[in-house]
């Protein structure tokens, strides 16, 4: 079995870098210990090895496909994988005891899902979606709704989905038109079309519970008039039996990647017999959905990181086995070729991948940990965690999605022509990854969220808090000889953020909010370089501490030294691009707000 | 028909930016005028519209596929396209009259091929390969060889290929083992395996002329022992009839892109009856092959640029048609959505694509023009053109290949989720493009070529010459008000090159050639940003000159202003990354030459 993630790295993350055990002092997680947590991770790895990784390529070669008649034909392995993963708890384990969950930290749940994503990211999609949909019901649904749907979703019998996007609206949720007409009994008649609904129909589940955004008749325009409904494909009749609820899968989308993961077009109420059940209060649907969406954004970012990690592992394995060429200093062509990992440029490509993939996974775990802390802690402490999570969410979604593609491109590059062929998995990783910058809010949307909402919230408190925690790591690293020069480089870049914010604030103060936001994507890119630099400082700090122990094996020493080495690599090769972003942001020429579209010719 | 390139832009390039008419003062091209040249381009466009673009998607959906029995099944359209393109001269037109060509400039030939590449890059591959193989025979073959093979290749009846790569050697040509055993009559018995042979077998040609690298028995080891052979699939018997020459297509490669373009595995001499015909002198094969390869490198770079251009055109069209969302200043959700091109971030993505695609095409035409000048001019002038072309070749190959992928990713991004689906062409552009950084020497190989060979040749004369011509454009632009600030930014970055070279020269002077070369790829990236900035200065200078004319239409004014706008955009958003590369190159930490591979864990 080819390696697709690194268990030693995951253990290092959970035990040393972002210690999971800190969570166990909170009541919510007091029933757990480190050993139990790690055992769960190991079970997940076994499941991924046995049931997911073996189908990664096959599912790509036999894409999910609409049958012309309301169904989507999916790979048979799903019928085995979904129940097996559900039985181990990988749909419902992070839910509270009262909702049938195991109340495990999202950190552990997310780490298991990382393993699934690295093994077979399409398969993980079905599980993650169900978890998110169920979470929405447990958070905002009635007891009856929870009892009716959640157990079946947790068991993997029913698939949960999120049904937001409509053909005419895309990212602009304020323009959705799916209609909900109230009946006297409190239910609603639903009519509308939804596209790009992942897992909206397939053969491995017997019912589909669509968490659907719709507009109640007479609701205000815009996002303030959107409500959230449970719309099952088969509704529970008054006799307790299931009956068809007029939710028809009208087609699918064929895609360049994630081909085993069904992407559907759903039609609600073609025969005027589609009933939806309101979740929570009317017109608050978008607020509710954002809970799911925020979790989904961390999950998409982690997925991108996971796929990049899998590509890195495949790339590393190839570089350790393939002899080719000689070093420039070797002039004798009769000498045997060297392993390609001995070429400096190959090492550059490997360390770049490692820096991106591991840095991103670390940030994903960091965010899941903050999520856990916002649920476990109280008062000011809880609020601080929440602020940090808010400002990190657009970054954890975007950096791995954008840089992950670059990382997978380097994985292809290390394999040469072979990397472009279907004989090797790296080209599939590259194709699969491309969707991540579009899922759950595109890079542009995330950037507006960061600069427009998160930076400005509570008078800049989230950004201030983030700077504080980064500076804490910088200052700790300054005290460690092998990390000090890297810490200095990160510190320098943080100063640049203030400079940029001063200039941008001027635009906002002058009332030109569009100018303030025009380069939001470059701002997000700049912040991302710093945040990943911070993660590498944390990784290297934890490694430096480990290296103080006596009696470490040679291989463990190398593992920890590798973290320090990669921090240095990141600061030499990646971090300098922060300054390029800064130069762009400080350049006052306004070039992306023209009305003359012929300039594009 | 969706637009895949911009004819006004091509006309601007050929008539104003890199004036083709300058060539007509040389004897080699004296038979041509601008009007004729442009008519040929227009015929090429018509051919591409009618016969190539319509099959772009189909050829992807029905990939070339090995039939298990020596043949590769290809799309039937090839049987029509190859002869039609050949009849218009698009295989042989740049050859000399004496070899049956039309002696047209490579600039014109390359511009036509750009159109084909933008319309259907897989199809163009077959044509370009034949042109390159025939060029090798006309340059170094005997009259008999030329007469035997070239007319049939020019007519499209026979396919020319280049057969270099072997499974065990990859990029390391010095390790090829294909064997050539001399017969007394001066021919050779060939035995060996070649992989990744594009167009090595298909249904649209009746014979395949493989320009093959092999090692004559007893030849010296390494690149000095490689000879070049013509190895046809069917050889011309003593009676003039064709007979099977024991060249067997043993399989193909399925790929993530360019799926309509057959990639084959060839087996020479399985039955000990494969005859090869030596081209030129023994052991000089690699030198000869480099003529073809240098041309192929420009062509691959231009192809990457062309595919990026096609993706840009599809992206632009979508952005001009798709309403979605509202500007941040529009708070009223009942107002109709705006076209997405009105969003600043969408304009940023469009201008980035335009800057990359058009800048790259301009560099491709520049290099073809230099190629023409090296063939038309004499003495010192010829030598200067040759030096410039030598140093630009790794850059024209690499920048479009690497940044073109990023550009196509942005094309997908502008389409949102739709961009990931097979309903739109941008995902195919993205997949096709990925091979370009691997063809004809990977990015790593190009970088070693630039820093190891081209920068050092003739005591740095090529680099000096390049700086001089760039500074000429900078100084001209300094005199134009709308260009001066951009010119200043380019000038600043040029100074950085000297700083970097001083440091690198120190490593070389100390005898550490591997240290000198370790970050060659970053150096190439740095140089590329400057070279493309130079192209944008040239584009903007030509545009500024045009804008001095009276009576221009509004749309022409916008077209020329668009060039100046994009120069400014490039200098604000792309050029600053030069400084990031500089910071990396000046950082003295040595991080990519470790022997401890466990650091990668």
CATH of the domain at A97: 1.10.540.10
Q: Which residues in B lie closer than 8 A to residue A577 (C-beta atoms)?
A: 577, 580
A416 and B438 within 8 Å at the Cβ level: the answer is yes
Q: What pLDDT sits at residue B109?
A: 98
- Least confident among A247-261, A494-508, B326-340: B326-340
Is some CB atom of chain B closer than 8 A to the CB atom of A65?
A: no
Structure-derived torsion over alpha carbons of residues A267, A268, A269, A273, reported in degrees to the nearest 10? 130
Q: Is B575 found in the same domain as B450? A: yes
Q: Is B179 helix (H, G, I), strand (E, B) or coil?
A: strand
Q: Please name every residue paired with A278 in a beta bridge, in sequence order, or none if there are none.
A: A229
Q: What pLDDT sits at residue A273?
A: 98
Distance between CA A100 and CA B436 in Å, rounded? 52
The answer to whether residue B123 is domain-embedded is: yes
Which residue from B minimizes the CA distance to A553?
B598
Q: Which token pair is B523?
A: 């150096």
Residue A449 has pLDDT above 90, yes or no: yes
The answer to whether residue B471 is domain-embedded is: yes
Q: Which residues in A lie closer than 8 A to residue B317 (C-beta atoms)?
A: none
Of B223, B409, B583, the CB nearest to A434: B409
Provide the shortest C-alpha distance from residue B397 to chain A (in Å). Answer: 15
A275-278/A188-198 β-pairing:
antiparallel
Q: What pLDDT sits at residue A292?
A: 85
Provide the shortest C-alpha distance from residue B263 to chain A (in Å). Answer: 10
Q: Is B132 found in the same domain as B62? A: yes
Q: Using CB atoms and an 8 Å cut-off, which of residues 18-37 of chain A contact chain B? A: none
Is some CB atom of chain A closer than 8 A to the CB atom of B503?
A: no
Distance between CA A349 and CA A356 in Å, rounded? 11
B337 and A253 within 8 Å at the Cβ level: the answer is no
Mutate to test the interface with A, among B194, B253, B408, B444 (most CBs of A within 10 A): B444
Is some CB atom of chain A closer than 8 A to the CB atom of B353?
A: no
Is some CB atom of chain A closer than 8 A to the CB atom of B430?
A: yes
Report in angstroms the alpha-carbon separations of A160 from A166, A244, B486: 18, 16, 53
Distance between CA A253 and CA B235 in Å, rounded? 49
Which residue from B minimizes the CA distance to A406?
B406
Among B139, B154, B169, identify where a domain stops: B154
A334 and B222 within 8 Å at the Cβ level: the answer is yes
A521 and B222 within 8 Å at the Cβ level: the answer is no
B601 and A442 within 8 Å at the Cβ level: the answer is no
Q: What is the DSSP letter of A338?
A: P
Which residue from A minimizes the CA distance to B198?
A417
Write out residues in chain B with pLDDT < 50, as ranges.
none
In total, how many domains does chain B have? 3
Neighbours of A148 (CB within 10 A): 18
Is some CB atom of chain A closer than 8 A to the CB atom of B476?
A: no
The answer to whether residue B41 is domain-embedded is: yes
A568 and B579 within 8 Å at the Cβ level: the answer is no
Distance between CA A81 and CA A102 in Å, rounded? 20
A444 and B334 within 8 Å at the Cβ level: the answer is no
Res. A318 pLDDT band, cuts 50 70 90: very high
A170 and B568 within 8 Å at the Cβ level: the answer is no
Q: Which residues in B lie closer than 8 A to residue A325 (C-beta atoms)?
A: 170-172, 175
Is some CB atom of chain B closer than 8 A to the CB atom of A479?
A: no
B601 and A345 within 8 Å at the Cβ level: the answer is no
Q: What pLDDT sits at residue A170?
A: 79
Q: What pLDDT sits at residue B421?
A: 98
Q: Which token pair is B93?
A: 């037109």
Contacts 24+ apart (CB under 8 A), B457-464: B457/B387, B457/B390, B457/B391, B458/B387, B461/B387, B462/B387, B462/B388, B462/B390, B462/B391, B463/B391, B463/B497, B463/B501
Q: Which residues in B lie closer than 8 A to residue A435 (C-beta atoms)?
A: 417, 420
Q: Using CB atoms and an 8 Å cut-off, which of residues 527-546 of chain B contact chain A? A: none
Q: What is the DSSP letter of A339?
A: B
Q: Is B148 found in the same domain as B206? A: no
Residue A341 has pLDDT above 90, yes or no: yes
Distance between CA A500 and CA A463 in Å, rounded? 13
Q: What pLDDT sits at residue B367?
A: 98
B514 and A413 within 8 Å at the Cβ level: the answer is no
Among A154, A176, A196, identify where a domain stops: A154
Distance between CA A591 and CA B347 in Å, rounded? 8
Q: Which token pair is B277?
A: 């015909």
> Do B96 and B103 touch, CB atoms closer than 8 A?
yes
Q: Is B582 found in the same domain as B553? A: yes
Strands (E) located in A131-222: 158-163, 179-182, 188-198, 207-216
Is some CB atom of chain B closer than 8 A to the CB atom of A325?
A: yes
Q: What pLDDT sits at residue B245?
A: 98
B207-216/B158-163 β-pairing:
parallel
Mutate to test the interface with B, among A262, A402, A451, A576 (most CBs of B within 10 A): A576
Distance between CA B111 and CA B95 in Å, rounded? 16
What is the number of alpha carbons within 13 Å of residue A389 lying toward its C-beta?
A: 23
Distance between CA A517 and CA B571 in Å, rounded? 20
Helix axes B554-569, B344-376, angle to 10 degrees: 90
Q: Is B550 found in the same domain as B479? A: yes
The answer to whether residue A504 is domain-embedded is: yes
Q: What pLDDT sits at residue B169?
A: 83
The answer to whether residue B422 is domain-embedded is: no
Q: Using CB atoms and an 8 Å cut-off, which of residues 188-217 of chain A contact chain B? A: 195-196
The continuous run of DSSP H or E covering B215 comes out as strand B207-216
> Do A340 and A327 touch, CB atoms closer than 8 A?
no
The answer to whether residue B365 is domain-embedded is: no
Owner of token pair 């909170």: A26
Provide the shortest C-alpha distance from residue B420 to chain A (in Å). Answer: 6
Which residues does A472 contact at the CB level (< 8 Å), separation at least 6? none
Distance between CA B480 and CA B497 in Å, rounded? 25
Q: Give start and end residues of each alpha helix (H) in A196-335.
A: 285-321
**Average pLDDT for residues A473-478, to the nearest whole number?**
98
Q: What pLDDT sits at residue B270?
A: 97
- The distance of Cα A35 from the centroid of its chain, to the nearest Å, equals 26
Helix axes B106-140, B34-47, angle to 10 degrees: 90
Is some CB atom of chain A closer than 8 A to the CB atom of B435?
A: yes
A541 phi/psi in degrees, rounded to 5: -60, -45
Of B174, B555, B559, the CB nearest to A333: B174
Is some CB atom of chain A closer than 8 A to the CB atom of B481?
A: no
Q: What pLDDT sits at residue B331?
A: 80
Q: What pLDDT sits at residue B224?
A: 93
Distance between CA B579 and CA A209 in Å, rounded? 52
Is some CB atom of chain A closer than 8 A to the CB atom of B426?
A: no
Is some CB atom of chain B closer than 8 A to the CB atom of A430?
A: yes
Strands (E) located in B321-402: none
Among A154, A180, A197, identify where a domain stops: A154
Q: Is B252 found in the same domain as B165? A: yes
B572 and A555 within 8 Å at the Cβ level: the answer is no
Q: Is B448 found in the same domain as B589? A: yes
A430 and B434 within 8 Å at the Cβ level: the answer is yes
> How much is the mean pLDDT over chain A?
97
Which residue from B minimizes the CA distance to A6?
B601
Q: What pLDDT sits at residue A364?
A: 98
Is some CB atom of chain B closer than 8 A to the CB atom of A76?
A: no
Residue A511 has pLDDT above 90, yes or no: yes
Distance between CA B262 and CA B197 in Å, rounded? 8
What is the number of alpha carbons within 13 Å of residue A510 lying toward its C-beta?
A: 11
The answer to whether residue A118 is domain-embedded is: yes
Q: What pLDDT sits at residue B171?
A: 81
**Average pLDDT for residues A430-453, to the nearest whole number?**
97
Which residues does A526 contact at the CB level (< 8 Å), separation at least 6? A496, A497, A500, A578, A581, A582, A585
* CATH code for the domain of B265: 2.40.110.20
pTM equals: 0.98
A207-216/A227-232 β-pairing:
antiparallel
Of B581, B597, B601, the CB nearest to A6: B601
A158-163/A207-216 β-pairing:
parallel
The answer to whether residue B333 is domain-embedded is: no
Q: Using CB atoms and an 8 Å cut-off, which of residues 232-251 of chain A contact chain B? A: none
Of A255, A320, A522, the CB nearest to B597: A320
Residue A1 has pLDDT above 80, yes or no: no
Q: Is B185 found in the same domain as B147? A: no
**Average pLDDT for residues A300-314, to the nearest whole number?**
98
Q: Is B172 found in the same domain as B90? A: no
A72-73/A65-66 β-pairing:
antiparallel
**Average pLDDT for residues A123-149, to the nearest whole number?**
97
Nearest to A1 by CA among A304, A317, A306, A261: A317
Distance between CA A48 and CA A118 in Å, rounded? 9
Distance between CA B140 and CA B148 in Å, rounded? 14
Q: Is B175 found in the same domain as B76? A: no
DSSP B283-330: T-HHHHHHHHHHHHHHHHHHHHHHHHHHHHHHHHHHHHH-B----TT-
A600 and B254 within 8 Å at the Cβ level: the answer is no
Is some CB atom of chain A closer than 8 A to the CB atom of B519?
A: yes
Q: Is B139 found in the same domain as B39? A: yes
Is some CB atom of chain A closer than 8 A to the CB atom of B370?
A: no
Provide the domain limits for residue B101: 7-154
Buried b (16+ CB within 10 A) or exposed e, A490-501: bbebbebbeebb
Q: Which token pair is B436?
A: 């370009």
Is some CB atom of chain A closer than 8 A to the CB atom of B91?
A: no
Q: Is B165 found in the same domain as B140? A: no
């Amino acid at each position: 079995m080819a390696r697709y993630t690194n268990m030693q790295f995951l253990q290092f993350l959970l035990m040393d870098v972002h210690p999971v055990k800190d969570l166990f002092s909170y009541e919510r997680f007091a029933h757990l210990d480190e050993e139990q947590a790690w055992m769960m991770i190991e079970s997940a790895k076994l499941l991924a090895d046995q049931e997911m990784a073996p189908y990664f390529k096959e599912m790509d070669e036999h894409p999910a496909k609409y049958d012309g008649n309301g169904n989507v034909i999916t790979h048979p392995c799903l019928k085995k994988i979904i129940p097996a993963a559900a039985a181990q708890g990988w749909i419902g384990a992070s839910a509270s005891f009262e909702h049938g969950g195991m109340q495990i930290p999202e950190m552990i749940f997310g780490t298991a899902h990382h393993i699934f994503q690295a093994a077979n990211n399409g398969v993980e999609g079905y599980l993650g979606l169900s978890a998110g949909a169920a979470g929405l019901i447990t958070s905002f649904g009635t007891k009856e709704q929870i009892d009716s749907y959640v157990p079946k979703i947790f068991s993997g019998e029913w698939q949960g989905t999120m049904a937001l996007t409509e053909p005419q609206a895309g990212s602009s949720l304020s323009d959705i038109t799916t209609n909900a007409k109230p009946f006297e009994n409190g239910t609603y008649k639903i009519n509308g079309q939804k596209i790009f609904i992942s897992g909206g129909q397939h053969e491995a589940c017997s019912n589909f519970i669509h968490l659907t955004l719709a507009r109640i008749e007479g609701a205000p325009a815009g996002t303030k008039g959107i409500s959230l409904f449970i719309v099952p494909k088969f509704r529970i009749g008054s006799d307790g039996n299931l009956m068809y609820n007029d939710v028809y899968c009208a087609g699918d989308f064929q895609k360049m990647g994630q081909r085993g993961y069904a992407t559907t077009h759903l039609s609600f109420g073609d025969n005027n017999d589609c009933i939806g059940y309101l979740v929570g209060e009317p017109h608050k649907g978008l607020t509710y959905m954002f809970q799911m969406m925020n979790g989904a954004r961390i999950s998409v970012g982690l997925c991108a990181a996971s796929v990049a990690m899998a590509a890195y592992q495949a790339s590393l394995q190839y570089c350790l086995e393939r002899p080719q060429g000689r070093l420039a200093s070797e002039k004798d062509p009769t000498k045997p070729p060297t392993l390609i990992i001995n070429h400096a440029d190959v090492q550059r490509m490997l360390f770049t991948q490692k820096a991106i993939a591991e840095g991103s996974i670390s940030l994903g775990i960091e965010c899941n940990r903050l999520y856990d802390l916002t649920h476990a802690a109280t008062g000011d402490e809880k609020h601080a965690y929440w602020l940090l999570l808010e400002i990190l969410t657009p970054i954890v979604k975007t950096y791995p999605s954008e840089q992950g593609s670059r990382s997978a491109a380097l994985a292809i590059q290390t394999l040469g022509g072979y990397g472009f062929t279907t004989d090797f998995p790296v080209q599939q990783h590259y194709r699969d990854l491309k969707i991540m910058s579009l899922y759950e809010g595109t890079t542009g949307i995330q950037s507006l969220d960061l600069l427009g909402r998160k930076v400005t919230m509570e008078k800049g408190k989230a950004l201030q808090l983030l700077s504080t925690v980064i500076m804490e790591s910088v200052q700790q690293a300054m005290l460690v000889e092998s990390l000090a020069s890297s810490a200095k480089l990160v510190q320098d870049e943080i100063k640049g953020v203030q400079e940029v914010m001063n200039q941008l604030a001027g635009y906002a103060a002058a009332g030109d909010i569009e100018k303030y936001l025009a380069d939001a994507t470059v701002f997000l890119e700049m912040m991302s370089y710093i945040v990943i630099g911070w993660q590498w400082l944390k990784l290297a700090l934890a490694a430096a501490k480990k290296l103080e122990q006596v009696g470490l094996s040679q291989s463990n020493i190398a593992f920890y030294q590798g973290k320090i080495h990669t921090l240095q690599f990141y600061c030499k090769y990646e971090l300098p691009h922060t300054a390029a972003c800064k130069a762009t942001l400080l350049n006052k020429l306004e070039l992306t707000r023209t009305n003359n579209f012929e300039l594009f010719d």
